[in-house]
Amino acid sequence: QIDSARLWGSIHETAQFGGTAKGGVRRLTLSSEDKQVRDWFRKACEDAGLDVHTDALGSQFGLRKGRDMTKLPVGIGSHLDTQPTGGKYDGILGTLGALEVIRTLNDAGIETEAPICVVNWTNEEGSRFAPAMMASAAYVGDFTTDDILSRKDIDGTSVSQALDSIGYRGDKPVGFQKLGCFVELHIEQGPILEAEGKTIGVVDSGQGVLWYDGKISGFESHAGSTPMPLRRDALATLSEIVLAMEAIAKKHGPKAVGTIGEAVIANPSRNVIPGEIAFTMDCRSADGAIMDALDRDLRAAIAEIAARRKVEVKIDLVWRKPPTHFDPKLIAAVENAAKTLGYSSRRITSGAGHDACNLNTVMPAAMVFVPCKDGISHNELEDATQPDCAAGTNVLMHTVLAIAGV
Amino acid sequence: QIDSARLWGSIHETAQFGGTAKGGVRRLTLSSEDKQVRDWFRKACEDAGLDVHTDALGSQFGLRKGRDMTKLPVGIGSHLDTQPTGGKYDGILGTLGALEVIRTLNDAGIETEAPICVVNWTNEEGSRFAPAMMASAAYVGDFTTDDILSRKDIDGTSVSQALDSIGYRGDKPVGFQKLGCFVELHIEQGPILEAEGKTIGVVDSGQGVLWYDGKISGFESHAGSTPMPLRRDALATLSEIVLAMEAIAKKHGPKAVGTIGEAVIANPSRNVIPGEIAFTMDCRSADGAIMDALDRDLRAAIAEIAARRKVEVKIDLVWRKPPTHFDPKLIAAVENAAKTLGYSSRRITSGAGHDACNLNTVMPAAMVFVPCKDGISHNELEDATQPDCAAGTNVLMHTVLAIAGV
Ligand SMILES: NC(=O)NCCC(=O)O
Ligand SMILES: NC(=O)NCCC(=O)O
């Protein structure tokens, strides 16, 4: 059994780094708040006897020796960055839960056969730099390190510059730390476990993701003197796209979602018809055929709207992550750990993307979910209970022990 | 006849102050670019022998003596500030045209019975500070000077601070310069004169304006894991409001327009459902009953959308300017000047608001319109021909001579 109070203490101690008035956390990746939590995490890992290294994209790896160092380590962890309106648990539970597993094994003097590696992946959230789960994607070879280093945030700062500015461009190449498998603990970020009164979600699959960058070019013109029929209004165009996206996701529902999270009017003014808008789109489904249908329907709807409104709309698919099907053996290990520990559980699909989804493309991976209040996440009100967090961490530990061997 | 080349020269010389790559002008009120054009204008007025003063809101007044100084001056002029994506003519033609009238009278040695006063009104555009036509509204007593001084731009800078930062808080109280009437030359900012091949628009009326500040409070939540039916999406709400506004304006058309020019998502992120959006609305009609209907329909539509989407929408009416009906005698004077000079003309309603509309509430006022290319305004591509600008300025001069007396 892990130390529930110690785990809870580290979650709340680190929540001060970027803590907000509403009780949430604003800790964008590679920001000064992210540096604070990284410093804390490095020290905590070193204090727990881990050998800590940072790779060229800033991901932190803390290795605990196993009896058989020819075996590849069991990877555990998640991320410590948050959304602009983020909570105290998303990613953090999985990273500090992994640390708690190490601390518990240390206290109990338990040595494992295979080594264990705790990981804090850089930029899981994807709100400052696209794509999400950026560093784990580079780790599995979906992108080159140089490509990722050149990605820019909205202010034009590159990943490379951001890493240097907080001193977290590590000296190890991406991929330096080989892993044999990866298990990630996370809050569900959805309403199912809570609604069904289950403590553990055994994650067997994850939604695929489509991310687009869009740009609407209409025509700026006077709000008072331009007759309605002559307008080429970029905001009215965006509005139709937002509602079309909603309708398309509902049509393919319940196994699909679609969101426009960002939209910026260029040179806005009260009495000017918006002429140019940049926006982004996020579509998801756990079913690859539905993802294709979402893409097709969305493009058709946008083409129709643009033609009718005599406005140009450009859409770039900037990220396509296929649906995830986690490793059957690891899924069974998680399920078994929950059962042994006496927690209620159910199989579940992840609505969100996770680093484990990337790792699963090159090694066996699995995930453990615990409930979060009202399914709320990416919101400062995100909440989870201490017993649930402890339960998830216990399941993580027992899964690791089963895989690593005692 | 005014000096067409000299007028054209001053328009293009001052267009450098805030000139943009696309050939437009970005000269927000009380910005450093606005200071540059104000300095230029003060010197030009002084060089033309005018007695120049600035009032507490930064409006510039240049007085040319008349034979009978007991008579109130004939006011002419407009504004030199522009939209973020503004052109070279909106406001500028009327202000530099007024200067050109003075220069022409000087050259011809013409003395008028009543004095003439050239005015550059502060913040006509209303894009940095609301409302539009701010200084002329204070001049006629719609707002107190202190109220206007306290208005803030999006960065929190007040009118008062902005005036001081460019050294244009004048030592004269607002209203110090009494005027007997006001005539404003302007580009049409609409397509009618050009389409009908008329040179002069004799403006007999102007649309009323409703400006609102709006705020939508939905709920931030994860784009991947929040099922469509559980969302309280602020952007989808805004989208419905934008399209409802468009439909309502069309329903009351052609005598109504409605625009949402500004909308800002708080803490935007690709994978977060927008939770909070601030926006503005602009509705207009030349018919007071239609204005009331627009307000009523809009509020009803917004209430229905908000209730259905379980989202809070707050709407504040921040400005209500009733329709304008210009002075019949001055309208006739403009019409007569156009006829005498041999220009084709027609009566016209102004779609845009103008300082003359404010002045008309306390003194006789009128306006002269000239065509602009494709009716385009509040756009960097705004354009007008040299002969049309000269024609409008000639009509302005002959109207002034008729009113002031020679
Ligand atoms: N777990 C999580 O919130 N990931 C962020 C990436 C995404 O799914 O949008
Ligand atoms: N003339 C003009 O464009 N005025 C700006 C104020 C408005 O009508 O919105």
The pLDDT of A354-365, averaged and rounded, is: 98
| Surface of B (267-286) touching A: CB under 8 A | 267-275, 280, 282, 284
What band does B220 get if pLDDT is binned at 50, 70 and 90?
very high
Q: Is the pLDDT of residue A36 over 90?
A: yes
pLDDT at B69: 96
Q: Is the peptide bond before B131 cis (omega within 30 degrees of 0)?
A: yes
The ligand 2 atom at the shortest distance from the C-alpha of residue A222 is 3
Model confidence over B359-402: pLDDT tens digits? 999 999 999 999 999 999 999 999 999 999 999 999 999 999 99
Q: Inspect the interface and report whether the beta carbons of B261 and A269 lie closer than 8 Å.
A: yes
What band does A191 get if pLDDT is binned at 50, 70 and 90?
very high
pLDDT at A160: 98
CA of A125 to the centre of ligand 1 (A): 5
For residue B10 the two structure tokens come to 């001053």
Model confidence over B221-263: pLDDT tens digits? 999 999 999 999 999 999 999 999 999 999 998 999 999 999 9
Model confidence over B198-216: pLDDT tens digits? 999 999 999 999 999 999 9
The pLDDT of A310-318, averaged and rounded, is: 98
CA B312 to CA B301: how far, in whole Å? 13
The pLDDT of B125-144, averaged and rounded, is: 97
3-class secondary structure, B262? strand
Chain B residues touching residue A221 (CB < 8 angstroms): 376-379
CA distances from B207 to B49, B95, B211, B285, B286 (A): 37, 22, 13, 5, 4
Q: Inspect the interface and report whether the beta carbons of B246 and A228 lie closer than 8 Å.
A: yes
Residue (of B381, B352, B387) closest to B188 by Cα position: B352
Q: Are B114 and B71 in contact (CB under 8 A)?
A: yes
pLDDT at A253: 86
Model confidence over B163-186: pLDDT tens digits? 999 999 999 999 999 999 999 999
Name which of B219, B228, B235 is nearest A260 (Cβ-Cβ).
B235
Q: Are A269 and B83 in contact (CB under 8 A)?
A: yes
Q: Check if A305 contacts B (Cβ < 8 Å).
A: no
Q: Is the pLDDT of residue A186 over 90?
A: yes
* Residue of minimum CA distance from atom 5 in ligand 1: A125
CA A270 to CA A136: how far, in whole Å? 43
Burial of A1 by CB count in 10 Å (0-12 exposed, 13-18 middle, 19+ buried)?
Answer: exposed
Q: Inspect the interface and report whether the beta carbons of A378 and B351 lie closer than 8 Å.
A: no
Name which of A83, A224, A256 is nearest B352 (Cβ-Cβ).
A224
Q: Is the pLDDT of residue A14 over 90?
A: yes
| Surface of A (353-372) touching B: CB under 8 A | 353
Closest-CA distance, B250 to chain A, in angstroms, reads 7
pLDDT at B211: 98
pLDDT at B243: 98
Percent of chain A scoring above 90 in pLDDT? 100
The pLDDT of B278-298, averaged and rounded, is: 98
Best probe of the B interface among A241, A271, A294, by most B CBs < 10 A, is A271
CA A214 to CA B25: how far, in whole Å? 27
For residue B6 the two structure tokens come to 């000299």
The pLDDT of B8-16, averaged and rounded, is: 98
B199 alpha carbon, distance to own chain's centre: 21
pLDDT at B253: 86
3-class secondary structure, A381? coil
Q: Check if A39 contacts B (Cβ < 8 Å).
A: no
Q: Inspect the interface and report whether the beta carbons of B270 and A127 lie closer than 8 Å.
A: yes
Q: Check if B222 contacts A (Cβ < 8 Å).
A: yes
Q: Inspect the interface and report whether the beta carbons of A219 and B379 lie closer than 8 Å.
A: yes
pLDDT at B276: 98
Chain B residues touching residue A229 (CB < 8 angstroms): 250, 253
Q: Which residue of A has its CA nearest to B249?
A: A228
pLDDT at A383: 98
3-class secondary structure, B381? coil
CA distances from A58 to A87, A141, A160, B94 (A): 22, 16, 10, 59
For residue B390 the two structure tokens come to 């000269």
DSSP E strand stretches across A104-240: 116-120, 181-187, 200-206, 208-217, 221-222
DSSP one-letter code for B16: T
- Residue B282's DSSP bridge partners are B211, B259
Q: Are A353 and A359 in contact (CB under 8 A)?
A: no
The pLDDT of B81-108, averaged and rounded, is: 98
CA distances from B225 to A149, A255, A347, A372, B336 (A): 28, 11, 16, 12, 70
Name which of B230, B269, B352 is nearest A222 (Cβ-Cβ).
B352
Percent of chain B scoring above 70 in pLDDT? 100
What sign does the CA torsion over A377, A378, A382, A385 have?
positive
CA B112 to CA B108: how far, in whole Å? 12
What predicted TM-score, i.e. pTM, was given to this entire model?
0.95
Q: Is the pLDDT of residue A131 over 90?
A: yes
Mutate to test the pocket of ligand 2, among B81, B124, B319 (most ligand atoms within 8 A of CB): B124
Q: Inspect the interface and report whether the beta carbons of B263 and A262 lie closer than 8 Å.
A: no
pLDDT at B38: 98
The closest ligand to the CA of A94 turns out to be 1
Backbone φ, ψ for residue B344 (5° rounding): -70, 145
Q: Inspect the interface and report whether the beta carbons of A225 and B375 lie closer than 8 Å.
A: yes
A364 alpha carbon, distance to own chain's centre: 19
CA distances from B370 to A94, A126, A279, B190, B367 (A): 68, 52, 38, 10, 10
CA B114 to CA B296: how far, in whole Å? 46
The pLDDT of A262-276, averaged and rounded, is: 97
Q: Which residues, including other chains, have CB under 8 Å from residue B282's CB and lie 6 or more apart?
A: A223, A224, A270, A271, B209, B210, B211, B212, B258, B259, B260, B261
Burial of A393 by CB count in 10 Å (0-12 exposed, 13-18 middle, 19+ buried)?
Answer: buried
DSSP E strand stretches across B200-275: 200-206, 208-217, 221-222, 257-265, 272-273
Q: Check if A222 contacts B (Cβ < 8 Å).
A: yes
Q: Which residue of B has its CA nearest to A128?
A: B269
| Surface of B (116-155) touching A: CB under 8 A | 125-127, 130, 132
Backbone φ, ψ for residue B286 (5° rounding): -85, 0
The pLDDT of B320-332, averaged and rounded, is: 98
Pocket of ligand 2 (CB under 6 A): A 222, 224, 271; B 90, 124-126, 132, 189, 352-354
Q: Inspect the interface and report whether the beta carbons of B375 and A230 lie closer than 8 Å.
A: yes
Q: Are B115 and B71 in contact (CB under 8 A)?
A: yes
Model confidence over B42-58: pLDDT tens digits? 999 999 999 999 999 99
The pLDDT of A205-233, averaged and rounded, is: 97
Mutate to test the pocket of ligand 2, among B122, B125, B260 (most ligand atoms within 8 A of CB): B125
Q: Check if A216 contacts B (Cβ < 8 Å).
A: no
